[in-house]
Structure 1
């Protein structure tokens, strides 16, 4: 899960998670503080089933054809390493949290790493056949700046692939993004709800054309990994959107 910040006004449909659906009652910290505290155990706790396995299931992206990708909210470099493993030529990463970038730098999957807000990455416009964001959107109060920046970065006919927690799962499980702090305290990171329609509206407003939409449900693989999730069987846990920049 990647880190970032947004100072934009929240969209009409954005809801701060804890105000409506939180059944856990964990103390809440901001995104940069949260991921700085989570970095030591992040790789141990994030499941590939949540994001990279969903990316692998998509039909539209031809990963190996991308000579360069922008990895927005690159975190520790998990997504960047996966992209390189699929044959992407080079990957540039952006994240807000220095500690996560330090891990990504040590991993070595990225050609360039930048500490920046995802709404203003500082990367070159029109330079990326592929833009990817993984496990990021629930931390943004407003989706629109992310979609606009991704559109600016994308080359003509380029793709923007976004995968994240499905809003239905967040509401059903009553579970914000959270981690176990060094002192053992379960700690939530500021989480926002964005419905599928909010993504569609933000993407279309930025100029994107929707090419693929996938909702991945809790099934046998998830229950085998987390037996207590049997009660969530059939609930969509991840959502993936593939957008194309029509030239």
Structure 2
């Protein structure tokens, strides 16, 4: 499904590496914890403190890695495509190792992690299948794959791509794709994953307090968290 069918902004669009390289200075002041970390907090599994080794695909500035570290995860590797984001993650120090690579083609060892996690990455991928296959390859038997995503409904209803404000003041979009929930299920199941848990976050009072202009989206789903199991 093409985002262009829903685009209500018409922003100039750049690729992922360019966009996040330019957004990095203000990224953490822009992305709200309510989008992703609040959803991770709601998950019943995995038992975070029991995770021995995790890989954070599309780790960005290390927000998710720091959240995992605070939950007691033992060892965390991070992978990201953008050097500028990795530099911030490196200064944060939540990851044991950071690798510049595509989240869907990491080059890391097979069956090395009992937790694979990816947050707010998939909308930048034209095809979900390589990400789910790579997560499966990296996962140990009985491992968990936790994935947090922009809800496709919100992307379609708002017509808003992932975007940032450049130093010039221009609003710039980063390549955005629409993946339905069924797209995730199909890609995951075909890779061998079993769905263990799914949570959807809606625009509520907390969100409207953060983004008053989003009152018109109240009760619309904005993000989702999947937990997959490698049986």
TM-score (norm 2): 0.99
Aligned equivalents of 1:48, 1:62: Cα separation in 2: 20
Q: Equivalent residue for 2:125?
A: 140
Does residue 117 (structure 1) correspond to residue 102 (structure 2)? The answer is yes
Deviations 1:190-247 (A, max 9, x none): 000000000000000000010001111111110111111111011000011100000x
Deviations 1:153-191 (A, max 9, x none): 111100000001000001111100000011111000000
Does residue 96 (structure 1) correspond to residue 81 (structure 2)? The answer is yes
Q: Equivalent residue for 1:10?
A: none
Aligned equivalents of 2:26, 2:72: Cα separation in 1: 28
**4+ residue runs of structure 1 moved beyond 3 angstroms?**
none
Does residue 40 (structure 1) correspond to residue 25 (structure 2)? The answer is yes
Q: Equivalent residue for 2:201?
A: 216
Q: Equivalent residue for 1:163?
A: 148
Aligned equivalents of 1:223, 1:139: Cα separation in 2: 26
Does residue 61 (structure 1) correspond to residue 38 (structure 2)? The answer is no
Paired residues, number: 231
Deviation at residue 81 of structure 1 after TM alignment: 0.4
- Unpaired runs of 5+ in structure 2? none
Deviation at residue 16 of structure 1 after TM alignment: 3.2
Q: Equivalent residue for 1:131?
A: 116
TM-score (norm 1): 0.92
Aligned equivalents of 2:106, 2:2: Cα separation in 1: 24
Q: Equivalent residue for 1:4?
A: none
Aligned equivalents of 2:94, 2:103: Cα separation in 1: 19
- 1:39 counterpart SS class: helix
Deviation at residue 119 of structure 1 after TM alignment: 1.8
Q: Equivalent residue for 1:202?
A: 187
- 2:133 counterpart SS class: helix
Q: Equivalent residue for 1:235?
A: 220
Q: Within 5 A, what are the aligned runs for 1:19-38?
A: 19-38=4-23
Aligned equivalent of 1:193, options 178, 181, 194: 178
Aligned equivalents of 1:209, 1:54: Cα separation in 2: 19
The alignment yields a C-alpha RMSD, in angstroms, of 0.7
Q: Equivalent residue for 1:225?
A: 210
